Structure formats: structure tokens, C-alpha cells
């Protein structure tokens, strides 16, 4: 039987279905290999500038071959040497025969692997942060629009007190704002490993520069500056401390928890028909039930969020089990969990952007659910009013409890409540009807929304406004 080649091997659902081409490229073999070569070019340039015998011809030859990748040759070399970085050195050297002798001069493998990863992390987190800023903007617009729209709030998913749709959105918005601030801080603090040598002592570079410590420090700073890093990790073994991975994936995990909460709430509200996902003209909700309109994107957000949360365990184990100046049991683990963590967060953000692009917020249905619970929801206001007039709070509480249970059994519970309260508590019908106005029961929700947007969200977005955001047009 003839097989279709593209279906013969496993393909990650992230690259095939979920994540954007931009994030996928950042974790591709092409990005890694070209970044190794750019690091070697930067090293050679800095070493030449500081006096080592490296020629312009050698550097020019390296620069002109950065993008020329022979994947088969690299694979062939790796099978021979059983060492991935040596395979890349030799494959690049074949392309740059004049520079072959100075490629990788003074460094160990971690110069290219770890510095490339830190560059990768910085670019990837910057891309994700831009998408998160886009989500913050969408949520803040919705919060402002629905700041005064009454709805029923829930505790234990049981009817609680009136709130507003905008206030509920701010619960999500606040969590994502905390995540965005955390990501921005980490972006500012990601350090460059620099040139540390085989065990972090920089002894090979001291040998190259004849024990001139100042020259070694200049070399490291020049390369870090070239790649846009303000900070250099001052202490390292052969690799950068794996605590950096832990910090980074914890921040991604924290966002995944926020996203799961958002998507879970959205799914609950979809059940109540108060908030619905965008639904395509030809979209099918169920192969069996034509009427179905399932919150599939929020369900997917939940599934991917749980996956991202689970990945955050790995960096803790890895950081805990590093031996002395380094061991290699981290490499295979990190190749799997770190890219998948970034890709899953990108997929979640793509889905969120889609959901928030055109959510159907059904104010009438939300208000109807609220009004059905009004006999219960006015209790607190009646209790406050009668207590202000001198009644005993505990006695009124018991009277209201009994009145409510009886009223809720009637065909028109609100009318039954008003009659009983008039008779028992001495309140006038107009007073009771005013207390049952949903807009009088939402407390300071609109003011809280306005204050939060003005003092927290908008200043942050003004300072960190989202640039152009690339969201996949087709979400399978």
C-alpha cells in the first residue's frame, strides 16, 4: 500500500494545529543553527577587535554562510561525533574553510547552546507579551462597555449577589495584568550567559588574552551588547543556572492558571447563555445534534492550560539535580518541555484573542437570570435598612429567612415578598420596590471598574501598548 509521506511520522499538534508560525520558527532547527553561527560571528568579531589574529576575510566568509544550512551534513557529522555542537562546528567549517580554525575559539558548547536559548526565550516571551497586551486591551474595552450592565454573581456556582458584567470581566483582567507585569519584569531581567568557558572560570579566554582580565570582561560585554542584553550572568558553571528556566516556566504556568480560570468561567456562562463564543457561519457544533453550540475554544484553552501547568514541574526537578558545575541529564528534558511550554502558551493566547474578537454577551438573558432571584437578592438591603431604623439585626435576619422561604414557593415570589415585608417589617411598598431595582443592587461595581481601568490597566497599556499582533486566521 502506498503511503502519503507527510502522514508517516508524528507531527506535534502545536505546529500542525495550534501555535503561530512566528513562535514555531523561534523553536525551529533553522533558528537554532543560524543563532549558533551568529554567536560564532559575534565572538570572532569581538576577538578580532580586541587584538586576536582574526582576518576580515574569515569573518566575511562566516557571515555570508550563516543561512546556508545542510541538514543532512549536520546529521552525518552528529552520527560520527555523537556530539551535536561539534557537528555544527564542522558543518559550518566546511562552508567557511578560511575561518575553520577560529570558529568556536575559546568557548565550550554552552556558549552557543545557552546563549542561543536565552536569546530565544527573550524573543519568544516578547512575542507572547505582545499577544497578552492585545488580550488586555480587548478585555479592558469589554469591561468599560459593560461596567454598568447588571448580572447575577455566583459563589459555589449558586446565586449570590448582583454584580455587573464589566466587574466580572475585571476579575479576569486583573489576573492577566499581574501576569503581564511579571512577564515584563522577567524580560528586563533575562541575562546573557556570556563567555564563561568550560566550567565558568573563563580561563581559556585569559589564555587567549595573555592574562588580561580587562580584555576578557570587554569581550563578554561586547557580545552581550550586540545581542541586546543589558545584563550578564555574573556567576555560572558551564551553563547558566537552571533556576532561570524555573522562573520563566513558573511565569508561563501562572498565566496558564489565569487562562484556565477565564475559560472555565466563560464555559459556565455559555451554559447559562449569558456569554457565547464567536460562531462561524458554517461552523458545526455537533455531528449528531445540529442545534449544539459548544464553547470549543474555551474548552481547548482549558486543555492546553492544564498541559502548560504540568510542564512547570520539569524545571524544578532539573534545577534541583544539576551536579556541581554541570551534568547533561538536563539536555534531553529541556529540549522537550521548554519549547512545548512556549508553544502551548502561544496557542492559548491565539485562542483567547479569537474568543475575545467577537464574544456574544447577552445582557437581556443575564438580567433575566438576575431578576428571577430578586426576592433573595433584596434581603441584604432590607436587613440594612431595618437595622438602621433601630431593629435588632438578628431578629430581622430570622424574620427575613422565614418570609423568603414562603415567598419563593409562590407563583409570584417578588410580590409575595413585598406583601409579607410590608406587613411584618413595616416597610412601604415603594421602598421595597426601589430595593428590588437591579441597578440599585450592584453596589460600587461600576465605580470599581472605572477606578481599576483608570489607575491600573490604562497606565500599563499606555506604557506597553501592543504592537502589531499576528493571530492565526484559521483556528481548527
Number of compact structural domains in the chain: 3
Please say if 354 is a catalytic residue.
Answer: no
Give the pLDDT of residue 430: 80
| Same-domain check for residues 172 and 212 | yes
Question: Which is the catalytic residue, given 12, 64, 101, 286?
Answer: 286
For the chain, give the percent of residues with pLDDT over 90: 70
pLDDT of residue 281: 67
Residue 202, helix vs strand vs coil: coil
User: 348: how many CB neighbours lie within 10 A of its CB?
Assistant: 32
Question: What are the angstrom distances between the C-alpha of 214 and each of 219, 229, 350, 473?
Answer: 9, 19, 47, 52
Residue ending a domain, among 71, 89, 105, is 105
The pLDDT value given to residue 3: 47
pLDDT value, residue 393: 84
For residue range 95-130, list pLDDT tens digits in order.
999 999 999 999 999 999 999 999 999 999 999 999
- Both 23 and 130 in one domain: the answer is no
Q: Which residues contact 57 (CB under 8 A, 6 or more apart)?
A: 98
Query: CA–CA separation, 102 vs 58, rounded Å?
Result: 8
Return the percentage of the chain with pLDDT > 70, whole number: 93
Task: Tell me what pLDDT residue 468 has.
Answer: 63
Q: Are residues 321 and 415 in the same domain?
A: no
Residue 211's contacts (CB-CB under 8 Å, 6 or more residues apart) are none
Q: Residue 311: which of 328, 290, 278, 334 has the closest Cα?
A: 334
Q: How far apart are CA 153 and CA 158, in angstroms?
A: 8
Categorize the per-residue pLDDT at 472 as very low, low, confident or very high, splitting at 50, 70 and 90. Answer: low
pLDDT > 50? residue 1: no
Q: Is the pLDDT of residue 209 over 90?
A: yes
- Is residue 460 domain-resident? no
Does some domain include residue 457?
no
| 330 and 404 assigned to the same domain | no
pLDDT at 470: 62
Q: What is the mean pLDDT of the chain?
A: 90
Which CATH number belongs to the domain containing residue 192 in this structure? 1.20.200.10
Q: Which of 408, 335, 351, 354 is nearest to 378 (CA)?
A: 408
In a domain, 295, yes or no: yes
Dist. CA 476–CA 286, nearest whole Å? 15
Average pLDDT over residues 206-219: 97
Residue 409 lies in a domain: yes
Q: 402 with 363, same domain?
A: no
156 is catalytic: yes
Q: Which residue has the higher pLDDT, 397 or 276?
A: 276
Please tell me whether residues 75 and 118 are part of one structural domain.
Answer: no
Please count the residues of the chain: 476
Q: Between 372 and 217, where is the model more confident?
A: 217
Could you give the CA distance from residue 48 to residue 60 in angstroms, rounded to a whole number? 13
pLDDT digits (tens, 9 = 90+) for 385-437: 788 887 788 887 888 778 777 777 777 777 777 777 777 777 777 877 777 78
Q: What is the mean pLDDT of residues 185-212?
A: 96
pLDDT category of residue 25 using cuts at 50, 70 and 90: very high
Q: What is the pLDDT of residues 50-81, one digit of tens each?
A: 999 999 999 999 999 999 999 999 999 999 99
Q: Is it the case that residue 134 has pLDDT exceeding 60?
A: yes
Domain limits for position 323: 110-279+291-367
At 53 the three-state DSSP class reads coil
pLDDT band, very low/low/confident/very high, at 280 (cuts 50, 70, 90): low
Q: What is the pLDDT of residue 6?
A: 54
Mean pLDDT computed over 145-162: 93
Cα separation, 282 vs 425, whole angstroms: 57
Look at the block and give the residue holding cell 557537528: 87
Within a domain: 86: yes
Residues 355 and 387 in one domain: no
One of 7, 156, 282, 332 is an active-site residue; which one? 156
16, pLDDT greater than 80: no
Q: From CA 145, how far away is CA 164, in angstroms rounded?
A: 11
Find the mean pLDDT for residues 261-271.
Answer: 97
Quick check: 473 pLDDT over 60? no
Domain co-membership, 216 together with 271? yes
Q: What is the DSSP string of 73-114?
A: HHHHHHHHHS-HHHHHHHHHHHH-TTTTTTTTTT--HHHHHH
Between CA 54 and CA 75 the distance in angstroms is 29
Of 105, 127, 154, the residue at which a domain comes to its end is: 105
| pLDDT interval class at 287 (50, 70, 90) | low
Residue at 406 is within a domain: yes
> What is the domain-level CATH number for residue 93?
1.10.275.10
Measured distance CA(466)–CA(130) in Å, rounded: 5
Q: Which of 105, 128, 154 is the last residue of a domain?
A: 105
Q: Does one domain contain both 46 and 195?
A: no
Same domain, 263 and 384: no
Same domain, 236 and 327: yes
Q: Give me the pLDDT at residue 130, please.
A: 94
Query: Do 135 and 51 belong to one domain?
Result: no
pLDDT in tens, 293-352: 788 899 999 999 999 999 999 999 999 999 998 888 888 889 999 999 999 999 999 999
**pLDDT tens-digit profile of 232-241?**
999 999 999 9
Amino acid at each position: 500500500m502506498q503511503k502519503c509521506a507527510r502522514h508517516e511520522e508524528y507531527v506535534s499538534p502545536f505546529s500542525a494545529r495550534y501555535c503561530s508560525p512566528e513562535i514555531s520558527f523561534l523553536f525551529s532547527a533553522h533558528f537554532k543553527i543560524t543563532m549558533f553561527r551568529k554567536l560564532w560571528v559575534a565572538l570572532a568579531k569581538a576577538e578580532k577587535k580586541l587584538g586576536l589574529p582574526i582576518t576580515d576575510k574569515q569573518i566575511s566568509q562566516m557571515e555570508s554562510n550563516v543561512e546556508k544550512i545542510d541538514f543532512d551534513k549536520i546529521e552525518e557529522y552528529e552520527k560520527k561525533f555523537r556530539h551535536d555542537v561539534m557537528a555544527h562546528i564542522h558543518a559550518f567549517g566546511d562552508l567557511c574553510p578560511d575561518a575553520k580554525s577560529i570558529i568556536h575559539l575559546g568557548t565550550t558548547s554552552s556558549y552557543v547552546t545557552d546563549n542561543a536559548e536565552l536569546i530565544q526565550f527573550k524573543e519568544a516571551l516578547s512575542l507572547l507579551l505582545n499577544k497578552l497586551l492585545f488580550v488586555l486591551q480587548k478585555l479592558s474595552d469589554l469591561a468599560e462597555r459593560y461596567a454598568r450592565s447588571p448580572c447575577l454573581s455566583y459563589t459555589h456556582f449558586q446565586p449570590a449577589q448582583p454584580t455587573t458584567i464589566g466587574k466580572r470581566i475585571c476579575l479576569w483582567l486583573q489576573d492577566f495584568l499581574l501576569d503581564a507585569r511579571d512577564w515584563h519584569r522577567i524580560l528586563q531581567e533575562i541575562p546573557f550567559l556570556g563567555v564563561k568557558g568550560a566550567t565558568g572560570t573563563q580561563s581559556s579566554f585569559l589564555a587567549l588574552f595573555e592574562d588580561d582580565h580587562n580584555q576578557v570582561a570587554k569581550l563578554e560585554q561586547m557580545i552581550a551588547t550586540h545581542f541586546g542584553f543589558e545584563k550578564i550572568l555574573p556567576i555560572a558553571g558551564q551553563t547558566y543556572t537552571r533556576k532561570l528556566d524555573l522562573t520563566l516556566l513558573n511565569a508561563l504556568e501562572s498565566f496558564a492558571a489565569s487562562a484556565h480560570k477565564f475559560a472555565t468561567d466563560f464555559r459556565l456562562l455559555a451554559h447559562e447563555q449569558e456569554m457565547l463564543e464567536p460562531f462561524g457561519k458554517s461552523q458545526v457544533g455537533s455531528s449528531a445534534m445540529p442545534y449544539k453550540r459548544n464553547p470549543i475554544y474555551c474548552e481547548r484553552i482549558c486543555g492546553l492550560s492544564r498541559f502548560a501547568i504540568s510542564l512547570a514541574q520539569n524545571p524544578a526537578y532539573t534545577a534541583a539535580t544539576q551536579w556541581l558545575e554541570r551534568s547533561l541529564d538536563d539536555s534531553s528534558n529541556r529540549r522537550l518541555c521548554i519549547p512545548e511550554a512556549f508553544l502551548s502558551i502561544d496557542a492559548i493566547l491565539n485562542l483567547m484573542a479569537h474568543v475575545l474578537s467577537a464574544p456574544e454577551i447577552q445582557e437581556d438573558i443575564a438580567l433575566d437570570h438576575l431578576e428571577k432571584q430578586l426576592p433573595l437578592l433584596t434581603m441584604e438591603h432590607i436587613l440594612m435598612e431595618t437595622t438602621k431604623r433601630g431593629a435588632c439585626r438578628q431578629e430581622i435576619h430570622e424574620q427575613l429567612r422565614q418570609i423568603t422561604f414562603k415567598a419563593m414557593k409562590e407563583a409570584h415570589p417578588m410580590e409575595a415578598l413585598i406583601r409579607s415585608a410590608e406587613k411584618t417589617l413595616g416597610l412601604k411598598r415603594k421602598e421595597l420596590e426601589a430595593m428590588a431595582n437591579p441597578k440599585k443592587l450592584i453596589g460600587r461595581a461600576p465605580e470599581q471598574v472605572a477606578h481599576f481601568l483608570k489607575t491600573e490597566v490604562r497606565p500599563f497599556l499606555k506604557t506597553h501598548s501592543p504592537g502589531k499582533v499576528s493571530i492565526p486566521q484559521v483556528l481548527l
